[in-house]
C-alpha cells in the first residue's frame, strides 16, 4: 500500500530539492539530525523524532527534479531500513513548485502511521518553504519513551532551535557563562561533543565552517551516534577518570538544554521545551553536579529560587546560573 502527499512550495525547484535532501534544511522541518550521502548507492540516517531513526539507501538522485530512497526504521523488525521506497518528485508551478511524495511498500497498519507522519511533516515543509523556519516540532518535544539518549535527542532539538536564531552580529555578545561570549560558548559546546563522543568510542570531526547551528548540529549528531552504538552499560574514561557510562551520558542533555538557555538569554530568544523533558534533565543534573563539581569550578553554586519557579528556572538555578 502507498502513502501519498503533495505540497505547493513558493520556492524554486532547486530550493525545494535542498529542503528535502540537505541536512541543514531537513533539520528545519523534518528531523532532529540528519546525515546524508546524496548519490545513488549513498546512505542516509535521520533522527526524525527522539528515539526514532529512519535510514536507507538512495537509488535515484536527479538534482532539482527527483529523489528515490529506501525507507525503514533502525531497530524495527516490521519495517527495517530499505524495506519500503519513498519517491519525491518536484515540478515547476506558477510562482513555485509542486512536491509530490509517494511511499510504497507499506502494510495497511504501516500506511496509517506513515500517512499521519507525512501529513504532519508536509505541513511543516510548507511552513519552512514559506518562512524559512517551521519552528519547534511538538512531536520532538516529548518523546514517547524518555530515557538518557532520547532526552539527548530532544534537548538537541531545543538547542538547535535557539542556535538557528543566532546571527554573526550575536557572536560577541556576553552569555550567562561569564567566561564565554556566544561564539566562544558555541566552540565550547562543540568541544564538549568531541570529548563526549570520544568517551563513547567515537571520533567527532566538527566542520570547519558553516553557521553556528550547522557546526554544533554536526558535532552533536556524531557524538550521539557514538553513544547510540555504544549503549549505556559499564564505565567510560574521561582522561584518568573512570565513571559510569550512564552518568557520562547525562552530560549530553545537560549541555544541550542549559547552553540553549545561555544562548537564548544572550540573544533575546525564548527556550521552547516541555516540562517533562526539563524535569528529566534536572534529575540527570542532580546525578552529575555534586560538591566536587562545584568546588573544582565546573559549576557554580546553586541559586535559590522561589516556590513559584517553573522547572526550567529550577534547572538553571541548580546549574549555578541566574537570569539576572
pLDDT of residue 323: 59
pLDDT digits 0-9 by tens, 64-86: 999 999 999 999 999 999 999 99
Compute the mean pLDDT over every residue in the chain, rounded to the nearest whole number.
Answer: 94
Summarize the confidence of residues 256-274 as an average pLDDT: 97
Average pLDDT of the residues in 130-157? 93
Q: What is the predicted pLDDT for the residue at 187?
A: 97
Residues 181-194, mean pLDDT to the nearest whole number: 97
Predicted pLDDT of residue 50: 96
The model's confidence at residue 294, banded by pLDDT at 50, 70 and 90, is low
The domain ranges of the chain are 3-131, 140-318
Residue 54's pLDDT is 98
Say which range, 47-51, 222-226, 237-241, has the weakest mean pLDDT.
Answer: 237-241
Give me the pLDDT at residue 297, please: 59
Give 20's pLDDT tier (boundaries 50, 70, 90). very high
Angle between helices 245-267 and 148-163 (to 10 degrees): 20
pLDDT of residue 48: 97
Task: Determine contact, residues 26/38, Cβ cutoff 8 Å.
Answer: no
Instruction: Please compute the mean of the pLDDT values over residues 145-165 and round it to a whole number.
Output: 96
Q: Is the pLDDT of residue 142 over 90?
A: no
Q: What pLDDT is recorded for position 295?
A: 62
Q: What is the 3-state secondary structure (H, E, C) of the chain?
A: CCEEEEEEECCCHHHHHHHHHCHHHHCCCCCCEEEECCCCCCEEEEEEECCEEEEEEEEEEECCCEEEEEECECCCCCCCCCCEEEEEEEEEECCEEEEEEEEECCCHHHHHHHHHHHHHHHHHHHHHHHHCCCCCCHHHHCCCCCCHHHHHHHHHHHHHHHHCCCCHHHCCCECCCCCCEHHHHHHHHHHHHHHHHHHCCCCCCCCCCCCHHHHHHHHHHHHHHHHHHHCCCCEEEECCEEEEHHHHHHHHHHHHHHHHHHHHHHHCCCCCCCHHHHHHHHHHHHHHCCHHHHHCCCCCCCCCCCCCCCHHHHHHHHCCCCCC
Rounded to the nearest angstrom, the gap between the alpha carbon of residue 119 and the centroid of all alpha carbons in its chain is 21
pLDDT of 324 over the 60 cut: no
Q: What is the pLDDT of residues 208-222, one digit of tens each?
A: 999 999 999 999 999
Residue 199: pLDDT over 90: yes
Is the distance from CB of 132 to CB of 119 less than 8 angstroms?
no
pLDDT band at 304 (very low <50, low <70, confident <90, very high): confident
Does 257 score more than 60 pLDDT? Answer: yes
- Residue 143 and residue 156 in contact, taking contact as beta carbons nearer than 8 Å: no
Q: How confident is the model at residue 144 (pLDDT cuts 50, 70, 90)?
A: confident
Q: And the C-alpha cell for 318?
A: 541548580
Superfamily of domain 140-318: dinb family like domain (1.20.120.450)
CATH 3.30.530.20, domain 3-131, yes or no: yes
pTM: 0.95
**pLDDT tops 60 at residue 152:** yes
What proportion of the chain, given as a percentage, has pLDDT over 90?
Answer: 87
- Average pLDDT, integer, range 215-234: 97
Q: How far is CA 221 from the centre of its chain?
A: 7
Q: Do domains 3-131 and 140-318 have the same CATH topology?
A: no
Percent of the chain with pLDDT over 70: 97
C-alpha to C-alpha distance for 154 and 226, rounded to whole angstroms: 17
Mean pLDDT to the nearest integer, 133-142: 91
* Contacts for 50 with CB less than 8 Å, ≥ 6 apart: 32, 140, 143, 150, 151, 152, 153, 154, 157
Q: Is 143 left (phi over 0), alpha (psi -120 to 50) or beta?
A: beta
Average pLDDT over residues 277-298: 84
Amino acid at each position: 500500500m502507498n502513502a501519498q502527499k503533495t505540497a505547493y512550495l513558493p520556492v524554486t525547484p532547486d530550493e525545494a530539492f535542498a529542503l528535502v535532501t540537505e541536512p541543514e534544511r531537513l533539520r528545519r522541518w523534518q528531523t532532529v539530525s540528519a546525515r546524508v550521502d546524496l548519490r545513488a548507492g549513498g546512505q542516509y540516517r535521520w533522527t526524525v523524532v527522539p528515539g526514532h531513526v529512519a535510514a536507507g539507501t538512495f537509488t535515484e538522485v536527479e538534482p532539482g527534479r527527483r529523489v528515490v530512497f529506501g525507507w525503514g526504521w533502525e531497530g524495527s523488525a516490521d519495517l527495517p531500513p530499505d524495506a519500503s521506497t519513498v519517491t519525491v518528485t518536484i515540478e515547476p508551478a506558477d510562482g513555485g513548485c509542486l512536491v509530490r511524495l509517494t511511499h510504497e511498500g507499506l502494510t495497511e497498519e504501516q500506511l496509517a502511521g506513515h500517512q499521519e507522519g507525512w501529513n504532519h511533516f508536509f505541513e511543516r515543509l510548507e511552513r519552512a518553504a514559506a518562512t524559512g523556519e517551521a519552528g519547534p516540532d511538538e512531536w520532538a518535544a516529548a518523546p514517547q519513551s524518555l530515557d538518557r539518549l532520547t532526552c539527548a535527542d530532544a534537548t538537541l532539538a531545543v538547542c538547535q532551535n535557539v542556535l538557528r536564531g543566532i546571527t554573526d552580529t550575536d557572536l560577541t555578545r556576553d552569555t550567562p557563562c561569564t567566561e564565554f561570549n556566544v561564539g566562544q560558548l558555541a566552540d565550547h559546546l562543540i568541544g564538549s561533543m568531541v570529548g563526549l563522543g570520544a568517551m563513547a568510542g567515537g571520533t567527532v570531526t566538527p566542520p570547519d565552517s558553516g553557521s553556528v547551528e550547522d557546526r554544533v548540529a554536526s558535532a552533536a549528531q556524531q557524538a550521539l551516534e557514538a553513544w547510540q552504538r555504544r549503549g549505556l552499560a559499564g564505565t567510560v574514561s574521561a582522561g584518568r577518570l573512570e565513571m559510569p557510562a550512564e552518568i557520562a551520558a547525562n552530560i549530553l542533555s545537560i549541555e544541550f538544554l542549559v547552553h540553549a538557555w545561555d544562548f537564548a538569554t544572550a540573544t533575546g530568544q525564548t527556550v521552547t521545551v516541555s516540562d517533562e523533558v526539563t524535569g528529566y534533565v534536572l534529575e540527570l543534573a542532580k546525578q552529575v553536579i555534586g560538591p566536587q563539581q562545584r568546588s573544582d569550578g565546573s559549576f557554580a553554586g546553586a541559586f535559590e529560587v522561589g516556590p513559584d519557579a517553573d522547572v526550567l528556572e529550577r534547572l538553571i538555578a541548580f546549574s549555578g546560573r541566574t537570569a539576572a
